[in-house]
Amino acid sequence: MHRDTKGWLFVGPFLAVFALTFLAPIGYAIYLSLFRDQAFFGGTVFVGLDNYVDVIRDPKFWESFGRVLAFLVVQVPVMLILALLAALAIDSARLHAASFFRIVIFLPYAVPGVVAVLMWGFIYGNNFGLAADLNDLFNTTSIQPLSGRWMLPSIANIVTWEFVGYNMLIFYSALRTVPEELYEAAAIDGAGTVRTIRAVKLPALRGAIVIATIFSIIGSFQLFNEPNILRTLAPNVITTYFTPNMYAYNLSFAGQQFNYSATVAIVMGVITAIIAYVVQLRGSREAL
C-alpha cells in the first residue's frame, strides 16, 4: 500500500459528485422536514419534529408501508430461492447446455423495468393479453391479474421475472470461486450431492446471499415503477399511496406538500437502513 495523499487525486472527483448527488439532498431533505408551509400567510415556519409526528400517525403511510412489507416478505424469498436453485443447477455440471441457460435466464435484467411493466401490463390485460386468451380458452372471466385481489401478486411476478437472473448471476459468480480441492475433499469423504451443497456450496454463498437479500429489501421498499405504470391500467385499484415511494412522489408532484413529502422519504430511508443493517449483522454473525 502506497502511503500518499495523492490518493485523493483519484478519489476526490468521485467524492465531489457524490457530495452533490447524495449528501446534499439528504441534508436538504432533513432541513425541509423541519419546516411547514403556512396556510394563510405564505412562506414557511419552523415546526421541529411535528412533520415526523404526523407521518407516524398517518394511516395512509402505514397502509402503504404494510403493503410493501407484505410484498417483500413473500416476493424476496421466492425470488432468491428461484435464483439460488437456478445457480446451483447451472453450477452442478448435471445440466445440458448450462451456459445457454445462464445467459437466457439473465436476459430479463437487460430489459428496462419500464418495458417489462408495459409488456406484462398488456399481457395481464383483457384486451389483447394472454390473460384474455386464457379466459377464452377456459371459457371463463376469472383470470383478472389487474383486479384488486391479484394486483400485488401480479406486481411480484413482474419483479421476480426481472431480477431472478441478476441474483442467479451473483450466486453463480460466488459458486465459481469455490476451490476445486474442496469438492475433491467432499468426494473423498463420500459426500453426495445434497451434502456437498450443504457443506461446501451454501457456506460459500453466504456473503452473496446477505448482499442479495439487502439489495432486494431496499428494492422492495422503493417499489415505484411497477405500480406507477400499472396505475394507468387499473386506476381504481392502485391508489396514490399504494407504496411509500408513490406516496412521497404524489405528495410532492400532485399535492405540492414538499416538506411532508421529504419527511415521508426520510422516515422510509431510516427504516430501510435499519432493516438492511440488521440483516447484515445477522448474516455476518451466523457466518462466524
Partner 1 sequence: MSTTSPLRPKRSPLLTGLMLLYLVYTLVPLVWLLLSATKTQSDLVSSPGLWFGDKFALFANIRDTLTYDNGIFLRWLGNTVLYVVVGAGGATLLATAAGYGLAKYKFAGRRAVFAVLLGAVAIPGTALAVPTFLMFSNLGLTNTIWAIIIPSLISPFGLYLMWVYATDAVPYDLLEAARIDGAGEVRIFFTVALRLLAPGIVTTLLFAVVSTWNNYFLPLIMLSKPNLYPLTVGLTQWSNQATGVGARPIYNLVITGSLLTIVPLVVAFLLLQRFWQSGLTAGGVK
What residues between 15 and 74 interact with partner 1 by CB under 8 A? 15, 17-18, 20-26, 28-29, 32
Which C-beta is closer to partner 1: that of 23 or that of 74? 23
Closest to 270 in 3D by CA, of 15, 55, 50:
55
Q: Which residues of 172-195 are buried (b: 16+ CB within 10 A; e: fewer)?
A: bebbeeeeeeeeeebeeeebeeee
Per CB under 8 A, 208 contacts partner 1: yes
What is the spatial distance between Cα 110 and Cα 33, in angstroms, rounded to a whole number? 37
Q: How far is the CB of 231 from partner 1 (least distance, A)?
A: 10
Closest to 85 in 3D by CA, of 14, 20, 172, 150:
172
Give the footprint of partner 1 on residues 154-183 (CB under 8 A): 161, 164-165, 169-170, 173-178, 180, 183
Per CB under 8 A, 189 contacts partner 1: no
Q: How far is the CB of 50 from partner 1 (least distance, A)?
A: 19
Per CB under 8 A, 130 contacts partner 1: yes
Which C-beta is closer to partner 1: that of 94 or that of 149? 94
Closest to 178 in 3D by CA, of 212, 138, 208, 148:
208
Per CB under 8 A, 116 contacts partner 1: yes
Q: How far is the CB of 118 from partner 1 (least distance, A)?
A: 6
Per CB under 8 A, 147 contacts partner 1: no
Nine cell digits for residue 22: 447524495
Angle subtended by helix axes 59-91 and 151-176, to nearest 10 = 40
Residue 260 burial class via C-beta count within 10 angstroms: exposed 0-12, middle 13-18, buried 19 and up: buried
Per CB under 8 A, 202 contacts partner 1: no
Q: How far is CA 121 from the centre of its chain?
A: 19
User: Segment contacting partner 1 (CB under 8 A): 55-63, 72-80, 148-156, 218-226?
Assistant: 218-226
Per CB under 8 A, 225 contacts partner 1: yes
Q: How far is the CB of 206 from partner 1 (least distance, A)?
A: 12
Which C-beta is closer to partner 1: that of 207 or that of 283? 207
Give the footprint of partner 1 on residues 74-113 (CB under 8 A): 82, 86, 89-99, 101, 103-113
What is the spatial distance between Cα 108 and Cα 101, in angstroms, rounded to a whole number? 13
Q: How far is the CB of 15 from partner 1 (least distance, A)?
A: 7
Q: At 203, which helix (H) or strand (E)?
A: helix 202-221
Among 34, 132, 197, 199, binds partner 1 (CB under 8 A): 132
Angle subtended by helix axes 151-176 and 113-124, to nearest 10 = 140
